[in-house]
Structure 1
């Protein structure tokens, strides 16, 4: 995860201790669970986090929350969705910061044989063999329905077995509950659910790397001024989030970044 985000937050005491309202994609709960308590102890600030997909029209979807004027200081979304909001003048363009990337992966119900998804052909066969396939209404779900299924030549066959998970609920939760036996979502979301079997990432030929980005609203502009001054004086830390499960790939200017450490 990038230095800019948490240095900005950690320096917020230079302004005042307060609630920091965060809108964030569902890719980040594990990172926030690890980083959030330390941030609150060190700053005296309190994180108020609302989760939701980067795309979609449900009440939980981040575009809906932004449109409705939900209170926020910081927003985390995938880049295309965030760029769209910046074009609508919702955020300060120069505060957008690249963070991490997460690959779309596969999980199934506990007890099921793990399907082979290592090649395009075996992935296609596994999808056609599944009775139900879950995906989100967010960015990964849009890619799955609009690009992956057509590319595999199975768009029509998948319509009857598709289960779209709306709002902030994770695909893994629906699999765990039994609403679907096969699920597709970013590895960061799937790894967050213990009661499912993680299978693996999509083959590179049909992979979509979801890059996560961060921006700020006018209400914390001074936090970023403090952050810039700090970085100029002290430089960037080596690491901020020990991504033990390797669910993210650090931003490195390419889509083949190394796992975050």
Structure 2
């Protein structure tokens, strides 16, 4: 497993905030001169692709960026520095189809339910969004045993399967669906089955570069980050991200 070196700021980011983070990181490094090494991981779930597993198995991380649900799990386990958390962006759940495929109707609860029943295979990440769809949405719609669904480790696994023709519909945070190759966004899920995730940054309890970690979090929550966040279908949630 790749590890952050001791002289770099170690950051691990979940898929929901990965694209805006990648767009913003060069500006932060250029302006501050702080070297950063970034890993990726799922906010929740099990196995080596999750942020929690990587922290438990020795990844040298100063800052985590993940869904609030995942952060709360880490905090409950004593892995987060108290008072260091900062919301960065909100992302609604959305659906996507393969590029060029007809876009199904998902505008209402009943239309979305029928789209799920009609789909050959539905894919979703085995993290916060996918767990919500599997454990809350499917039972709420009464279709738990009637949907051909696959829960894959990461959002990128879901979009790759959709692009390759291995699935007919992908569900996940809008930020994991916008701009991905070979797929096309359909739109947000209806309110009755919606989950708006708040992607949040925090400092790990074992962080070594606390001052640099605070600078990165402040930058990601600032108004300078807002345009990149919106470009990937999210809304800025940082305390200083809104225009004056």
TM-score interval, smaller chain: 0.7 to 0.9
Map of 1:181 onto structure 2: 168
**Match of residue 3 from structure 1:** none
In the TM superposition, residue 36 of structure 1 has moved relative to its aligned partner by 1.1
The number of residues matched between the two structures is 233
Segments of 5+ residues of structure 1 without an aligned counterpart are 1-16
- Structure 2 gaps of 5+ residues are 1-5
Question: What secondary structure sits across from 2:225 in the alignment?
Answer: coil
> Counterparts in 2 of 1:1-261, with a 5 A limit?
18-158=7-147, 161-167=148-154, 169-217=156-204, 218-223=207-212, 238-242=223-227, 243-245=229-231, 247-251=233-237
Q: TM-score, normalised by structure 2?
A: 0.86
Contact residue 30 and residue 192 of structure 1 kept, 8 A: no
Call closer, same or farther: CA 1:226–1:115 in 2, change over 3 Å.
closer
Q: How high is the TM-score relative to the length of structure 1?
A: 0.81
Structure-1 separation of matches of 2:40 and 2:63: 12
CA 1:167 to 1:108, structure 2 compared with 1: closer, same or farther past 3 Å?
A: closer
Higher Cα Rg, which structure: 1
Structure 1 vs Structure 2 CA RMSD? 2.7
SS of the counterpart of 1:240? helix
Does structure 2 conserve the Cα–Cα contact (< 8 Å) formed by 1:248 and 1:259?
no
